[in-house]
């Protein structure tokens, strides 16, 4: 009787083990199938069509690119030979009879989701035929990268106004050494001086763009998590970037110190070439439809006033619109300005610039002095 019971228990144990192994195999196969599906169906970032690795900035536009259907049918992006999102190439000097505005910023300035003709920076020209606009916006840029790109490539071009446009997230990006998996520089204030760190920017994420683009899918795969954990313990790869952390305490104060120095430097650079620095704050849709914290815009308003820098805050202009109008200003899929949003921004911006007392001589003069 004891032998029969032992054989029965052994048979049950073997069957349970086989069933367990089959379930593990099915689970593993299902995981692989789902991973392959996610990889196949995940679109590559649109930016890979027009950007390349840059050791100073992380990424920058490729010159002379034309992508016909980048954001949809006939929604094109073109860069000039200087890497700016413009259909024309610019001389260093402002053409006679023109005045030039240089637009610095992130994807809202680049014009993510619309073609070259409908970006707010380009639409400014429709309100004054003497106006020439240079688009130095770039997807994913923090205020630090916009500043560094302007200092390196933009400041050599004569201009009457530099618009430095930003959303709240652009300040948060400044303390991180990656964005979307791609490495970037980090600026710090040390002993009263701006210092750029993480340069040359590590290029491994750019050399393996496919893996970087699939990072989210791979992170969800348990086998990848196990391998990654083992490599970290062995020291073969470094720990996670601080990009997953919240900005609090010392990090927050460090970012604010950098911004103070950055704004002061931009103001000085612009004044040296008889130009005006103008800060432009764009709210995102969620900030208009829910009660959002205002500490960043309060800080920017106070800092602009302290340094006597012009600030154009679009918050009230957008919030004063009916809800349906607000919704129409933003793309549902990614939250960027629609063509309507870009046009609204250009119209209000031109009105405020052209009627600002400090800029009256710019809009009434006959070209760069």
- Residue 204 CA, chain-centre distance (Å), reads 20
Residue 78 lies inside a defined structural domain of this protein? yes
Per-residue pLDDT for 316 more than 80? yes
pTM above 0.75, yes or no: yes
Residue 295 lies inside a defined structural domain of this protein? yes
Residue 233 lies inside a defined structural domain of this protein? no
Residue 213 lies inside a defined structural domain of this protein? no
Cβ pair 318, 326 in contact under 8 A: yes
Both tokens assigned to 355: 């009627």
**The predicted structure's pLDDT at residue 68:** 97
Both tokens assigned to 169: 């997230």
Tokens 């800060």 found at? 279
DSSP lists the bridge partners of residue 340 as none
Residue 226 lies inside a defined structural domain of this protein? no
In DSSP notation, 86-131 reads -SS---SSPPTT-EEEEEEESHHHHTTTS-GGGSHHHHGGGG-TTE
**The predicted structure's pLDDT at residue 42:** 44
Neighbours of 77 (CB within 10 A): 24
Cβ pair 80, 88 in contact under 8 A: yes
pLDDT grade for 368, boundaries at 50, 70 and 90: very low
CATH number of domain containing 197: 3.40.50.1110
Cβ pair 136, 80 in contact under 8 A: no
Look over the chain and give the mean of its residue pLDDT values, rounded to a whole number. Answer: 86
Element (H, E) at 295: helix 295-306
Q: Which residues in the chain belong to E strands, given as ranges?
A: 51-54, 58-61, 66-67, 77-78, 99-105, 131-137, 161-166, 178-179, 182-183, 186-190, 193-197, 276-281, 310-313
Residue 24 lies inside a defined structural domain of this protein? no
Residue 246 lies inside a defined structural domain of this protein? yes
Which segment of 101-110, 144-153, 207-216, 315-324 scores lowest on mean pLDDT?
A: 207-216
Quote the domain boundaries for residue 72.
49-207+241-364
> What's the rounded Cα separation, in Å, for the pair 160 and 277?
9
**The predicted structure's pLDDT at residue 362:** 85
Structural domains counted in the chain: 1
Residue 4 lies inside a defined structural domain of this protein? no
pLDDT tens per residue, range 228-269: 455 445 544 444 334 334 556 789 999 999 999 999 999 999
**The predicted structure's pLDDT at residue 176:** 95
């Amino acid at each position: 009787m004891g032998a029969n019971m032992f054989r029965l228990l052994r048979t049950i144990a073997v069957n349970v083990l086989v069933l367990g192994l089959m379930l593990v195999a099915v689970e593993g196969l299902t995981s692989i199938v789902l991973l392959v599906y996610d990889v196949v169906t995940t679109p590559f970032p649109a930016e890979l069509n027009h950007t390349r690795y840059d050791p100073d900035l992380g990424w920058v536009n490729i010159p002379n690119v034309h992508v016909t259907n980048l954001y949809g049918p006939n929604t094109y992006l073109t860069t000039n030979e200087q890497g700016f999102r413009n259909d024309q190439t610019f001389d260093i000097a402002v053409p006679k009879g023109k005045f030039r505005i240089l637009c610095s910023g992130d994807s809202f300035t680049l014009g993510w989701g619309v073609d070259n003709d409908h970006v707010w920076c380009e639409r400014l020209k429709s309100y004054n035929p003497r106006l020439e606009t240079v688009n130095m916006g770039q997807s994913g840029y923090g205020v630090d990268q916009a500043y560094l790109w302007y200092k390196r490539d933009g400041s050599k071009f004569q201009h009457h106004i530099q618009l430095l446009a930003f959303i709240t997230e652009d300040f948060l990006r400044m303390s991180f050494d990656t964005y979307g998996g791609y490495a970037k520089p980090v600026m710090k204030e040390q002993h009263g001086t701006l210092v750029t760190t993480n340069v040359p920017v590590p290029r491994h994420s750019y050399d393996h763009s496919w893996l970087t683009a699939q990072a989210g899918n791979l992170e969800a795969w348990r086998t990848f998590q196990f391998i990654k954990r083992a490599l970290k313990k062995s020291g073969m790869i470094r720990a996670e970037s601080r990009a997953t952390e919240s900005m609090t305490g010392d990090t927050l104060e460090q970012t604010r110190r950098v911004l103070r120095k950055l704004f002061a430097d931009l103001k000085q650079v612009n004044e040296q070439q008889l130009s005006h620095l103008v800060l432009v704050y764009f709210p995102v849709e969620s900030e208009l439809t829910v009660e959002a914290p205002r500490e960043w815009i309060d800080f920017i308003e106070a800092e602009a006033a302290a340094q006597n820098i012009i600030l154009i805050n679009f918050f009230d202009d957008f919030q004063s619109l009916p809800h349906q109008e607000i919704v129409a200003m933003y793309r549902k899929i990614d939250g960027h300005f629609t063509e309507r949003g870009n046009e609204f921004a250009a119209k209000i911006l031109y009105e405020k610039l052209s009627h600002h007392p400090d800029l009256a001589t710019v809009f009434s003069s006959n070209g760069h002095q």
